[in-house]
Structure formats: C-alpha cells, structure tokens
Amino acid sequence: MMATRGRLLAVGVLPLVLLLVLVSCGVVSEAVSGPSDEPGDAPPAVTVRSGDSSVDLPARTYCYRSSCVDGVPPETLPVIAASDTLEVGFPLDNWTFEATFVPAGKQCGGREETVELERTGDTTLVLEPPGEPATYDVTLSGRGDGDLFVDFRWTTTAAGGHAAPTATLAVLADNDGDVDSYGVEMAVTHLAEEPARATAQVTVTATNGRSLTFEPAPMKDRCTPAGTIVWRGPGAAGQSAKELGPAPFTYQVELVLDGVRHVAKAKWPADQIVGNEPSVALTFMPALPIRRR
C-alpha cells in the first residue's frame, strides 16, 4: 500500500494525529539529522537551481511507496545562491510543492511565510520570494504519490507578497469507517498582527441535530511563529462530539480577535483537507486581516 500521511498545521509539538497516521504507514522511524540513510524506497532528489548553479537535495523526511522516514533539518543548511526566483526540478508527475520561509536562524518564534510553487514544465516549477528581500531558511514540501521535505537557506533579492491568513480545525476523525477523535486542534496562521486577546468557541452538530459547544484551550510556546495562534484540547470534547450521532457533522467556529468577531462553518468529513485529514479548512466572515507590504 502506498505510504502517505496527513499533517496538522500547528507547530511546536508533533500532533497526536500525525503520530497515529505515521503508525498507519507501518514505519515509525527515529528522527535523524539531515537526509536519511534508512533502507527502503526513497523519492527522487529535489533539484534547486539559482542561475547557473544547482543543488540536489535528498528528502530528509518522506512517505513514499512502502517507506516512511522522519528526519530533522541538518544543522548546516545547504546555501542556494542569491536570486530573484528559484527553479525547482522534480522528475515525478502530479506532485505539488509549497515552501515555508522563516528568517534565517529563527526556527522558533519567527514569522512564517508560505508560497505555493507554480509549474513551468513537466518536471520544473518556479519558487517566488515572499515579503521583503532577506535571508531565509526554507522548508520545501512536496506532495503527490506520498510526500517529502527538504531544507535550504536562500537570500532573496526581490520582494514578494505575504501569505493570506489560513485556519484549520480537527475534532473528529475516521477510524476504519467509525467516527472517532484523536484530539481537538485549531490553528490560525499568517495573521497580520498578533492580537492582544484571542478567544474561540466551537460548536459541533451531528446530522440528527444534537450539538456540543466548547472552548478550545489556547497553547503558546516560544516556537509558535509570529502571527500564529494554536488551540489544543480539551480532549474530552472530541470524545463527547463523536457520541452526538451519525455523520455528517457541521462545525461552527466563533473567533474573537481584539473584540472583532469572525465566524466560520465547515462540514466534516466533506471539507477535510486532502493530505491533512482529519482537519478542515475554515473560511471566516469577515475575513481575517491580511498583512500588507
């Protein structure tokens, strides 16, 4: 069976959902620094080109074919020559790529920017810079018939746009056809400003009309990126929600940022994010404030 796994968007602590899905791959590997030397099926290297120079980057973390391997970024990142844009090469069809940028050397607490790569050919994509020109540590993630992660350092020489705020919520999960819960997690990322006060209320409603309303628990640590808010738990809420009745379920979230109320609704499982199950994407009204140049 093809190995694959979902990932919640929150950062700082490995989510319980990810651990459970890793187990479903049949492999739970010890973390290693840099590209893994584990035997088994590994995806092809990702080629990053800047002008006339190029670097081949083997995946340090991946699920591909029958293998799942977890690694951590190397202590010394490969350095890509400064440029306006990068060309990324990968030989497999139907893979998409996304890059996450943090200021160089600020893996904890720095503001993240996310850029989706645009395809320019059968095996090539282009990576545009984010925000202001600067030196960034970049994590490039690919997803297709599996997934992979590579890391490098890049100095951008052109300005780009800022990522729009995104929000996700996980309450219920599919466990071999049964409604289950692996815990509650909600994350809002890329906010324009860090709010002085943020509260959230979640209502889960089953198809029979029975509902449960709870307030998720806010979580903050030094590694949470600037502009990101994460809520985890209470775990009992997820367990109670699965007993409400049969699927489908409706989620309603009321988010209040510095006194401004934002509301979002989503369906589970219909609105699950492909590759990041059981999380659903939340679209708030009014829209969350976007960061301007």
Same domain, 109 and 210: no
Domain count, the chain: 2
> Dihedral angle at the C-alpha atoms of 19, 20, 23, 25, nearest 10 degrees?
-100
- In angstroms, the CA 164 to CA 173 distance is 27
The pLDDT, as a whole number, for residue 18 is 37
Query: Rounded to two decimals, what is the model's pTM?
Result: 0.71
Neighbours of 62 (CB within 10 A): 27
pLDDT computed for residue 291 by the predictor: 77
CA terminus-to-terminus distance, the chain: 46
Cβ count near 283 (within 10 Å): 14
Give the CATH number for residue 66: 2.60.40.10
Cis peptide before 234, with omega less than 30 degrees from 0? Answer: yes
| CA angle, residues 43, 56, 99, in degrees to nearest 5 | 75
At residue 237, φ and ψ (nearest 5 deg) are: -65, -40
Are residues 115 and 224 both part of a single domain? no
205 and 106 together in one domain: no
The reply to whether 100 falls in a domain is: yes
* pLDDT at res. 34: 54
134 located within any domain: yes
Residue-wise pLDDT for 64-106, tens only, equals 999 999 999 999 999 999 999 999 999 999 999 999 999 998 8
Domain that holds residue 87: 31-156
**Domain match, 93 and 58 both:** yes
Q: Comparing C-alpha atoms, which of 174, 163, 225, 234 is closest to residue 24?
A: 174
Task: Tell me whether residue 202 is in a domain.
Answer: yes
As averages over each run of 10 residues, the pLDDT of the chain (293 residues) reads 38 36 39 50 96 96 95 94 98 96 86 94 96 96 96 97 93 96 95 91 98 92 86 94 96 97 98 93 94 68
What CATH number does the domain containing 193 carry? 2.60.40
Final residue belonging to a domain, choices 156, 182, 217: 156
Residue-wise pLDDT for 162-202, tens only, equals: 889 999 999 999 999 999 999 999 999 999 888 999 999 99
Which residue's structure tokens are 């996310």? 114
149, 241: one domain: no
- What pLDDT, on the 0 to 100 scale, is given for residue 35? 52
The predicted structure's pLDDT at residue 226: 85
Last residue of a domain, one of 156, 191, 215: 156
Kindly state whether residues 189 and 140 are assigned to the same domain. Answer: no
- 69 with 146, same domain: the answer is yes
Q: In this structure, are 83 and 144 located in the same domain?
A: yes
Residue 264 located in a structural domain:
yes
In whole angstroms, what is the distance from residue 26 CA to residue 15 CA? Answer: 18
In a domain, 22, yes or no: no
Based on the domain organization, do 122 and 203 belong to the same domain?
Answer: no
The answer to whether residues 50 and 128 belong to one domain is yes
Beta-carbon contacts of 188 under 8 Å, excluding residues fewer than 6 positions away, are 165, 166, 167, 228, 229, 255, 288
